[in-house]
């Protein structure tokens, strides 16, 4: 049973998931620090290129299945038009009310 974004423990991570699922690139970017970084399957990627390809240009959607570490670590069924659906792990580094880094990969 998926956890609704509004029910996630960390409000910044909750807003991240909500922005992904609403395909709201502006809201998503507003949640990131200016120097935010990310990795996919252990390899650092160009954040803007990756989010366009994997989230916003391909209809990305997260169904969160579990959370830990105060809501800063998620396991989600992630789907997009490119890859279909897969079980993914997400880890967030939050500074104040913004995300400075997120890491994702297959779970």
Residue ranges per structural domain of the chain: 5-106
CB 65, CB 75: distance < 8 Å: yes
**Confidence check: pLDDT of 78 > 90:** yes
Residue 12 CB neighbours (<10 A): 18
Nearest to 103 by CA among 83, 74, 78, 80: 74
Segment 11-24 mean pLDDT: 98
Q: Which CATH class is domain 5-106?
A: alpha beta
Average pLDDT, the chain: 97
Q: Could you read off the pLDDT of 22-62 as tens digits, one per residue?
A: 999 999 999 999 999 999 999 999 999 999 999 999 999 99
Confidence of residue 1 (pLDDT cuts 50, 70, 90): confident
Other beta carbons within 10 angstroms of residue 52's beta carbon come to 13
Q: What are phi and psi of 48, to 5 degrees?
A: -65, -40
């Amino acid at each position: 049973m998926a956890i609704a974004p509004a029910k996630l423990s960390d409000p910044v991570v909750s807003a991240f998931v909500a922005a992904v699922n609403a395909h709201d690139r502006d809201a998503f970017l507003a949640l990131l620090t200016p120097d935010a970084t990310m990795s996919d399957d252990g390899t650092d990627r160009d954040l803007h290129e990756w989010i366009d390809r994997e989230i916003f240009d391909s209809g990305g959607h997260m169904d969160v299945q579990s959370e830990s570490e105060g809501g800063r670590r998620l396991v989600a069924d992630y789907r997009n038009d490119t890859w279909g659906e897969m079980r993914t792990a997400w880890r967030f580094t939050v500074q104040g009310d913004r995300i400075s880094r997120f890491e994702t990969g297959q779970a």
